[in-house]
């Protein structure tokens, strides 16, 4: 019966806000952990940069080494060429025989082949340098720097202090330890209660009509606010296990630091010894080359005057060649040891900064 009907309409709306006032320091701990992750990532990138700098430096000096070797081989080849031309003139004047000419020719061609092979080695060294610097393989450079090595001696105690303070790999391990400590604190924060505050407002609109009577409308606006404290009483040991795992990882990180310090210290001592010995070897190589060069000059005059034969002269040429190549290798070895000492003490990024 429509005359006894009741019509009702209700509309409800609300808005609420909730703030977490305390959650066991999770926000601060998470922020700290993310910052440490960023620092660790940056540190690993720094290690890659250091390795790249070391590779480029050694590749550059390797080019200089091969160019100097080329110059030495060119000198020996020119000496062999002069000897070959000398034997040809002597033969044309009746002062030499075919055997001596052929011997001189064979030695000259052997030295020429060595020179040509060394030219290829130089080109390959330049291409390798271009590869490390992400340059086109066909790009050419002018290497006019003097191929030499710094013979400055280091103090082992200073190197060790620099390594402990600036070695990037070791710094990354310390950052990793801080990261594990933050993870432990984050897991322990699960034992704290959570305190939150809520506030809001509800709006209600009621409309009704009974048995055809006039409409009855009511509006209600209700604000509210509350505080909520929650505590996880039992979690079946999940929190305890998470804390134990984090503590184990923290101990592992500390052990890794101790192992790395021990390994780096041992490597530093080895590199320091290599550097000291290579300085002494370079001085020996300088003296050896000076003696070999003087001997070669004297022997050339003796050969042309007939005091020594071609075999003796060739032996002296080889002595000069070996002495010159040994000196060049000594320079490169000294550059290599200095570069490694710079890397292990964090000198590359320190110099760039």
Given this model, what pLDDT does residue 43 score?
Answer: 93
CA end-to-end span of the chain, whole Å?
Answer: 92
Yes or no: say if 125 and 61 are a contact pair by the CB < 8 Å rule.
no
How confident is residue 284, by pLDDT bands cut at 50, 70 and 90? very high
Yes or no: say if 201 and 224 are a contact pair by the CB < 8 Å rule.
yes
Indicate the DSSP class of residue 151.
-
Judged against a pLDDT cut of 80, whether residue 298 lies above it is answered with yes
How confident is residue 351, by pLDDT bands cut at 50, 70 and 90? low
Judged against a pLDDT cut of 80, whether residue 160 lies above it is answered with yes
Provide the CA 94 distance to its chain's centre, in angstroms: 66
Given this model, what pLDDT does residue 212 score?
Answer: 62
Cβ density class 48-84: b for 16+ within 10 Å, e for less: eebeebbbebbbbbbbbbbbbbbebbbbbbebbbebb
Domain parsing of the chain, residue ranges: 2-352
Longest dimension (CA), the chain: 151
Judged against a pLDDT cut of 60, whether residue 302 lies above it is answered with yes
Which tens digit of pLDDT belongs to each residue from 336-349? Answer: 999 999 999 998 88
Which tens digit of pLDDT belongs to each residue from 19-35? Answer: 988 888 888 999 999 99
Yes or no: say if 129 and 63 are a contact pair by the CB < 8 Å rule.
yes
Sequential DSSP letters for 8-19: EEEEEEEEEEEE
**What angle, rounded to 10 degrees, do the helices at 310-344 and 26-92 form?**
170
Name the E strands within the chain. Answer: 6-22, 194-210, 216-230
- Contacts for 229 with CB less than 8 Å, ≥ 6 apart: 193, 194, 195
| Averaged pLDDT, 292-308 | 90
CATH of domain 2-352: 1.20.1600.10
User: How is residue 267 written in tokens?
Assistant: 């490597």
User: How is residue 219 written in tokens?
Assistant: 């509006």
Given this model, what pLDDT does residue 278 score?
Answer: 97
> How do strand 216-230 and strand 194-210 relate by DSSP bridges?
antiparallel
Least confident of 3-17, 228-242, 248-262, 326-340: 3-17
How much is the mean pLDDT over the chain?
Answer: 91
Tell me the C-alpha distance between 269 and 154, whole Å: 12
Kindly state the percentage of the chain with pLDDT values over 90: 71
Which tens digit of pLDDT belongs to each residue from 86-132? Answer: 889 988 888 778 888 999 999 999 999 999 999 999 999 999 999 99
Which tens digit of pLDDT belongs to each residue from 66-97? Answer: 999 999 999 999 999 999 998 899 888 887 78
Kindly state the percentage of the chain with pLDDT values over 70: 96
How confident is residue 1, by pLDDT bands cut at 50, 70 and 90? very low
| Averaged pLDDT, 317-326 | 95
């Amino acid at each position: 019966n429509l005359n006894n009907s009741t019509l009702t309409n209700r509309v409800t709306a609300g808005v609420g806000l909730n703030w977490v006032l305390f959650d066991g320091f999770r926000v601060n701990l998470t922020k700290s952990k993310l910052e440490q992750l960023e620092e660790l990532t940056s540190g690993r990138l720094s290690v890659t940069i250091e390795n790249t700098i070391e590779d480029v430096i050694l590749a550059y000096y390797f080019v200089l080494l091969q160019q100097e070797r080329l110059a030495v081989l060119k000198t020996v080849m020119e000496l062999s060429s002069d000897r070959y031309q000398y034997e040809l003139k002597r033969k044309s004047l009746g002062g030499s025989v075919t055997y001596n000419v052929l011997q001189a020719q064979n030695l000259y061609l052997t030295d020429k082949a060595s020179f040509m092979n060394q030219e290829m080695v130089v080109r390959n060294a330049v291409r390798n340098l271009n590869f490390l610097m992400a340059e086109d393989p066909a790009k050419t450079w002018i290497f006019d720097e003097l191929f030499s090595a710094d013979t400055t001696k280091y103090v082992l105690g200073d190197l060790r202090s620099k390594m402990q303070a600036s070695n990037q790999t070791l710094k990354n391990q310390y950052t990793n330890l801080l990261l594990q400590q933050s993870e432990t604190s984050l897991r322990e924060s699960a034992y704290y209660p959570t305190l939150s505050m809520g506030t809001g407002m509800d709006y209600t609109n009621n409309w009704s009509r009974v048995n055809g009577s006039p409409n009855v409308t009511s509006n209600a606006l209700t604000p509210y606010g509350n505080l909520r404290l929650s505590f996880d009483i039992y979690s079946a040991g999940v929190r305890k296990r998470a804390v134990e795992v984090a503590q184990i990882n923290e101990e592992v990180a500390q052990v890794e630091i101790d192992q790395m310090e021990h390994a780096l210290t041992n490597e530093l001592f080895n590199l320091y010894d290599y550097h000291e010995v290579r300085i002494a070897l370079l001085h020996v190589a300088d003296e050896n080359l000076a003696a070999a060069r003087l001997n070669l000059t004297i022997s050339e005059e003796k050969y042309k005057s007939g005091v020594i034969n071609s075999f003796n002269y060739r032996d002296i040429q080889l002595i000069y060649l070996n002495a010159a190549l040994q000196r060049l290798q000594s320079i490169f070895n000294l550059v290599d040891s200095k570069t490694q000492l710079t890397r292990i003490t964090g000198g590359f990024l320190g110099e760039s900064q």
